[in-house]
Amino acid sequence: MIRYLTIFIAIAIILSVATQSAYSYPTSVDKLVPAKWTRLNFSVCISSNADAKYEKLFIKAMEEWISVWPHFGYTIRENQEHCDINVDITEHPVGLPKERHSHGTTKVTYWRNSHIVSAEITIPTQIKKDAMQGDYCCIELIYEFSEKKFYLIALQEFGHALGLAHAEDDDAEPFDVMSSKGEHPKYVISSVTLKALDSIYGTSTDASDHPIEVKPAVTLEVEMDKDTYAFDDIVRVSGKVSKIGGTGKVMLLRLLEGYPSMSLNTLANFIPNGDGSFALDIDLRTDKSGKWVLLVQYLGASMSMLFDVEETPYKAFGQTDRTSYFIGDMIKVNGNVTRYGDMVSIDVINPVGITFAHKVAPISSDKKFSAEFVLRESKLTIEGEWTLRFGYADSVNALTFNVIKS
């Protein structure tokens, strides 16, 4: 089965404070030294230079919190001034630091008595990441967050604004929205998180896990024909989108250790058919084995899939146009190689082991080669079984044919 992978690592929080730290980064939200709001009726200002759908998603995230912890209220202000919670939604991408990965940030300001007085939330709709391209570093790749990804970030950042830190999870679904994990299929606002809020604010809530559901405006389905490929294979990608009218992007990325963490192999575009389907054949020209990622993006929807690339040894296989030849005949040879290279060395050897002829055949873009030899009359033209030997990199392959003098 194809394995899924998110290449966007954890959603992290950077807490900055006006005077002193409200708390460090605990291992679980129920072990906080809490900072809290003195009143739970917030004025919220939202500024955005991105698509209007993201502002609606943030408001939906606040409503999701109210539905499970109904002890606060909010008012959206239009004047964008002097709000308790200021939200900046920006399409400008942020970078991924080498160690700490930050998708959204929340800055909480409070007094020395640990009373929160304001919160500044910033959430980008895109992210940028450095990648290798060939032997060169670095090119900049920009990814647009899926609606689900943005919504999960919004839920977590608003949770931080309420006074929560990251939750400790057990690496099993469903994940708590306050955990600093990547994008997975199932999330909840957990009972542990709700009990932490009750502990901070002295409230009482019927605490149970609340599933998170996201219904994006555009859905994307992607399939690969295999989950393991060899060097120079054809990667066949197919899928379907729920809305036509855009151009999609497909990237093949090799995972690296260290910085940068990826190397771009292929970048291709696609336009869906009238029924929303699409299909691409991508030539995997590489000599790098290991873990790879397929990333597909389309109109704000994204999907990533993990696959393996295994090393293919250099080998050349050939054949002659006939099995027997007479003196003066033309020996026509054609063949193919298992992976791309420059040349194939071809030797024609007579029955006593003496090389009769030698040629170097170039390899075409479709991994094929050809050559011709004239079986001229000489003292080396001995009747019997001859050998055609193909040398390619450090491999040798051979076949035989017969020479008949009369």
What is residue 287's predicted lDDT score, i.e. its pLDDT? 86
Per-residue confidence at 400, pLDDT binned at 50, 70, 90? very high
Could you tell me if 324 and 385 lie in one domain?
yes
Q: Using only C-alpha atoms, what is the Rg of the chain?
A: 31
Could you tell me if 140 and 156 lie in one domain?
yes
Interacting residues of 365 by C-beta distance below 8 A, sequence separation 6+: none
What is residue 17's predicted lDDT score, i.e. its pLDDT? 29
pLDDT at 49 over 70: yes
Distance of CA 210 to the CA centre of its chain: 29
Residues facing residue 46 across a β-bridge = 87
pLDDT at 382 over 80: yes
Q: In this structure, are residues 212 and 155 in contact, taking their beta carbons and an 8 Å threshold? A: yes
pLDDT mean over 17-41 = 53
What is the rounded average pLDDT for all residues in the chain?
A: 86
- The helix (run of H) or strand (run of E) holding residue 248 is strand 248-255
Per-residue confidence at 95, pLDDT binned at 50, 70, 90? low
Per-residue confidence at 405, pLDDT binned at 50, 70, 90? confident
ω before 45 within 30° of 0 (cis)?
no
Number of helical H runs and strand E runs in the chain: 3, 29
Dump the DSSP string for 343-369. Answer: EEEEEEE-TTS-EEEEEEEE--TTSEE
What is residue 22's predicted lDDT score, i.e. its pLDDT? 30
Could you tell me if 104 and 243 lie in one domain?
no
Per-residue confidence at 145, pLDDT binned at 50, 70, 90? confident
CB count within 10 Å of CB 211 equals: 9
**Tens-place pLDDT, residues 146-187:** 888 899 999 999 999 999 988 877 778 888 999 876 667 889
pLDDT mean over 70-92 = 89
Domain boundary among 310, 332, 361: 310
Domain boundary among 310, 336, 359: 310
**Total of domains in the chain:** 3
Domain boundary among 161, 176, 211: 211
Could you tell me if 257 and 224 lie in one domain?
yes
Per-residue confidence at 342, pLDDT binned at 50, 70, 90? confident
pLDDT mean over 291-302 = 91
| Percentage of the chain exceeding pLDDT 70 | 88
What is residue 267's predicted lDDT score, i.e. its pLDDT? 94
**Tens-place pLDDT, residues 307-328:** 999 998 999 999 999 999 999 9
- The helix (run of H) or strand (run of E) holding residue 199 is helix 191-201
pLDDT mean over 211-224 = 90
> Is there a domain that residue 2 lies in?
no
Could you tell me if 15 and 154 lie in one domain?
yes
Could you tell me if 91 and 189 lie in one domain?
yes
pLDDT mean over 272-276 = 97
Could you tell me if 101 and 137 lie in one domain?
yes
- One-letter amino acid for residue 372 of the chain: E
pLDDT at 21 over 60: no
- This prediction has a pTM of 0.65
Could you tell me if 204 and 229 lie in one domain?
no
Per-residue confidence at 341, pLDDT binned at 50, 70, 90? confident
What is residue 222's predicted lDDT score, i.e. its pLDDT? 96
> Is there a domain that residue 37 lies in?
yes
Could you tell me if 304 and 383 lie in one domain?
no
What is residue 12's predicted lDDT score, i.e. its pLDDT? 29
pLDDT at 371 over 90: yes
The residue range of the domain holding 398 is: 316-404
> Is there a domain that residue 180 lies in?
yes
Distance CA(185)–CA(188), nearest Å, equals 11
Could you tell me if 150 and 45 lie in one domain?
yes
- The helix (run of H) or strand (run of E) holding residue 192 is helix 191-201
> Is there a domain that residue 266 lies in?
yes
> Is there a domain that residue 235 lies in?
yes
Per-residue confidence at 216, pLDDT binned at 50, 70, 90? confident
Q: What is the chain's length? A: 406
> Is there a domain that residue 3 lies in?
no
User: Residue 81 maps to which CATH number?
Assistant: 3.40.390.10
> Is there a domain that residue 4 lies in?
no
pLDDT at 58 over 60: yes
Lowest mean pLDDT among 109-113, 138-142, 240-244, 371-375: 109-113
Distance CA(88)–CA(157), nearest Å, equals 12
pLDDT at 64 over 80: yes
What is residue 26's predicted lDDT score, i.e. its pLDDT? 36
Scanning 33-169, the segments in alpha helix (DSSP H) are 52-68, 147-162
Could you tell me if 181 and 232 lie in one domain?
no
> Is there a domain that residue 392 lies in?
yes
Q: In this structure, are residues 253 and 262 in contact, taking their beta carbons and an 8 Å threshold? A: yes
**Tens-place pLDDT, residues 100-142:** 444 788 998 887 677 889 999 999 998 888 899 878 888 888 8
Could you tell me if 192 and 55 lie in one domain?
yes
pLDDT at 68 over 80: yes
User: Residue 375 maps to which CATH number?
Assistant: 2.60.40.1930
